[in-house]
A = this chain, B = another copy of it.
Amino acid sequence: MFERCLYFNLNALTRKVNRIWESEFRQTGLSAPHAYVMRLVLSEPGISQKHLAEELHLDPSTVTRFVDALAERRLVRRDTSHTDRRSAAVFPTAEGKRLQKKLEKIGEGLFQAMQTRLGDKHFQELVSALREARSTLEKS
């Protein structure tokens, strides 16, 4: 009934893709969203939560909670920025750094698995279309 519906098709695919991602990242002990925060912290140690929220398109309160969870597990630590004491700088711990290789490998594996399963061209066009749609909806 909703074959032509953007909302329906987006959500249905997202749930399915999320299950795949979830199951791959489970071997790191992290959920997929936590893994993505971790990857970003690893790639930019000292990043602020505001910046994390912007890059990930998440609400700042959500980022607070994700960072809380990672800090709880001693994978990151928070430091108040010395240039602006409102701002939290998030750093990977040594234990966090030890995850980096595995996280990137899983990410790369998923990228290639999707490329293969969906077909190189389809895959790339889908991702571009998603990015473009978001950027269009962000304007206006």
Contacts and interface: CB of A to CB of B under 8 A. Distances in A.
Nearest to A10: B14
Contact of A126 (B6, B15, B110): B6
Contacts of A111: 4-6
A11 interface: yes
Interface of A: 1-18, 20-21, 32, 36, 39-40, 43, 55-57, 107, 110-111, 114, 117-118, 122-123, 125-127, 129-134, 136-138, 140
* Majority secondary structure of chain A interface residues (helix, strand, loop or mixed): helix
Given A6-B126, A12-B56, A12-B130, 6 more contacts: A5-B127, A6-B111, A9-B130, A10-B17, A20-B137, A118-B133
Given A55-B1, A129-B126, A132-B122, A137 B6 contact: no
Given A1-B39, A1-B40, A137-B117, A10 B130 contact: yes
A60 B54 CA distance: 35
B6 A127 contact: yes
